[in-house]
């Protein structure tokens, strides 16, 4: 009888665990869907509201700024009060209504306000999701569950499905309707989370995903300083490309929005595939070689968009192969800082690297890219995108290897 009760309890626990993964995976996917909506709808919005490229860049910069600040400050607030679910529900409702506000925008100022508020609540959304998942997961599945939510759902919904769905709605019903409809999944999921997700059992100040205060002294460590610099360069490259590639394709390239949306959807599955592939390679050959190669590989994408004169399918294939290089993000944002500093300071080191990247590359990069696009054409931000990735490749040469298995093999070779 006792064993049967234990089996039922384990089955119930596993069922709840997968419920959490599914609901929060969908929630994060649609949160990222809302963040990326402006990117894929920008050709319509720019034409209707008469926005400059500088203003388009400012929309991305404002969201990145409040994303970084919200992730840190509201994450600390959640840790301090020892609550997760109320924050999560509030964020889902607020970012959904921000999407509606984006659709109602009649000017750049209103649109910027909606994106800034959206960034503030979406920034802490993922860390709080991951804290709930960590509490609901068995230790053996914790890493897998986090990866499913962050990489699979984020890339599938936010960057693969989003361009096709949003552009289709915009073509048939207008870009404002696309913003309105993108708010619906978040509201539905908020109801499901309220009904089926339990508040994790944890005391205040003993949170599962404690977010310590920013410790700039960690930058004295060579690897942390290099990872922070890589974060500036690669976040800037990624954000600039995400913002200005759709405008370049529908502008100088002369593509129809629907063609652009399919190409961007193909690129949208790269974060999930690339993150797994590059991490897998790094487990076997070390962190440093794939980091170097991945940065250089990512630089090919904007140059192919600028200069390749062949067919669209071949161009898409080239950009897809190149964009797999952004799979280096989990390395310099997670694995290398964690292996460098050890478990005790891993969260602090990763938070520092992510924050520096968002506040520099994510905030400053689009502003510079937009201004140069107004002065010199939409080719300028793509050149910056490629140049940042190339510089990152050279910077990665300065990393000190951290893979324990590779270091152990080297030590054995030295002994032999």
pLDDT by residue for the chain (416 residues), tens only, comes to 445 444 444 444 778 888 988 998 899 888 889 888 998 999 999 999 999 999 999 998 988 888 878 776 776 676 667 677 888 898 889 989 999 999 999 999 999 999 999 888 877 777 777 778 777 777 666 656 766 777 778 888 988 899 999 999 999 999 999 999 999 999 999 999 999 888 876 544 444 444 445 556 778 889 989 999 999 999 999 999 999 999 999 999 999 999 999 999 999 888 878 877 887 888 888 889 999 999 999 999 999 999 999 999 999 999 999 999 988 887 888 778 877 877 656 656 776 787 788 888 888 999 999 999 999 999 999 999 999 999 999 999 999 988 888 888 887 765 44
Angle (CA) 40-44-46 rounded to 5° is 100
| H or E stretch covering 57 | helix 53-81
Phi, psi for 200 (deg, rounded to 5): -60, 145
What string of DSSP letters covers 132-159? HHHHHS-GGGHHHHHHIIIIIIHHIIII
Phi, psi for 92 (deg, rounded to 5): -65, -40
CATH pick for 212-416 out of 3.40.30.10, 1.20.1250.20, 3.40.50.300, 1.20.910.10: 1.20.1250.20
How is domain 1-204 classified at the CATH fold level?
Answer: Growth Hormone; Chain: A; (1.20.1250)
Q: Cα–chain-centroid distance for residue 35?
A: 10
Q: Is the overall model pTM greater than 0.85, yes or no?
A: no
d(CA 72, CA 89): 18
pLDDT at 335: 75
Q: Say if residues 269 and 208 touch (Cβ distance below 8 Å).
A: no
d(CA 26, CA 294): 28
d(CA 64, CA 358): 6
Q: Say if residues 364 and 232 touch (Cβ distance below 8 Å).
A: no
d(CA 135, CA 88): 15
pLDDT at 137: 76
Question: CATH 1.20.1250.20 spans which residues of the chain?
Answer: 1-204, 212-416
Tokens representing 119 are 């960034």
Q: Say if residues 344 and 337 touch (Cβ distance below 8 Å).
A: no
């Amino acid at each position: 009888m006792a064993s049967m009760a234990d089996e039922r309890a384990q089955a119930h626990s596993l069922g709840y665990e997968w419920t959490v993964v599914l609901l929060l995976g969908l929630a994060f996917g649609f949160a990222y869907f809302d963040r990326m909506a402006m990117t894929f709808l920008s050709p319509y919005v720019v034409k209707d509201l008469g926005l400059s490229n500088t203003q388009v860049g400012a929309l991305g910069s404002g969201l990145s700024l409040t994303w970084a600040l919200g992730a840190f400050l509201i994450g600390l607030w959640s840790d301090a009060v020892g609550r997760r679910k109320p924050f999560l529900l509030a964020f889902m409702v607020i970012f959904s209504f921000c999407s509606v506000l984006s659709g109602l925008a009649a000017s750049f100022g209103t649109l910027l306000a909606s994106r800034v508020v959206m960034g503030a609540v979406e920034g802490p959304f993922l860390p709080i999701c991951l804290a709930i998942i960590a509490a609901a997961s068995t230790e053996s599945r914790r890493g897998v569950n986090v990866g499913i939510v962050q990489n699979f759902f984020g890339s599938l919904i936010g960057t693969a499905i989003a361009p096709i769905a949003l552009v289709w709605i915009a073509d048939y019903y207008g870009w404002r309707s696309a913003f309105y409809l993108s708010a619906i999944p978040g509201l539905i999921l908020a109801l499901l989370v309220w009904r089926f997700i339990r508040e994790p059992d944890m005391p205040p100040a003993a949170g599962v995903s404690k977010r310590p205060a920013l410790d700039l002294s960690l930058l004295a460590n060579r690897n942390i300083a290099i990872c922070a610099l890589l974060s500036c360069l690669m976040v800037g490259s990624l954000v600039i490309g995400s913002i200005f590639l759709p405008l370049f394709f529908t502008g100088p390239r002369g593509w129809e929005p629907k063609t652009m949306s399919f190409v961007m959807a193909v690129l949208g599955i790269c974060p999930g595939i690339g993150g797994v592939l590059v991490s897998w390679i790094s487990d076997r050959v070390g962190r440093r070689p794939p980091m170097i190669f991945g940065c250089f590989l990512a630089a090919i994408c904007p140059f192919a968009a600028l200069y390749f004169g062949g067919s669209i399918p071949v161009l898409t294939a080239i950009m897809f192969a190149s964009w797999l290089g952004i799979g280096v993000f989990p390395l310099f944002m997670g694995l290398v800082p964690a292996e460098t500093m050890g478990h005790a300071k891993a969260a602090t080191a990763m938070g520092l690297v992510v924050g520096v990247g968002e506040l520099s590359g994510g905030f400053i990069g689009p502003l510079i890219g937009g201004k140069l696009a107004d002065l010199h054409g939409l080719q300028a931000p793509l050149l910056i995108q490629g140049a940042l990735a190339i510089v990152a490749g050279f910077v990665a040469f300065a990393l000190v290897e951290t893979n324990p298995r590779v270091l152990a093999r080297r030590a054995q070779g030295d002994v032999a």
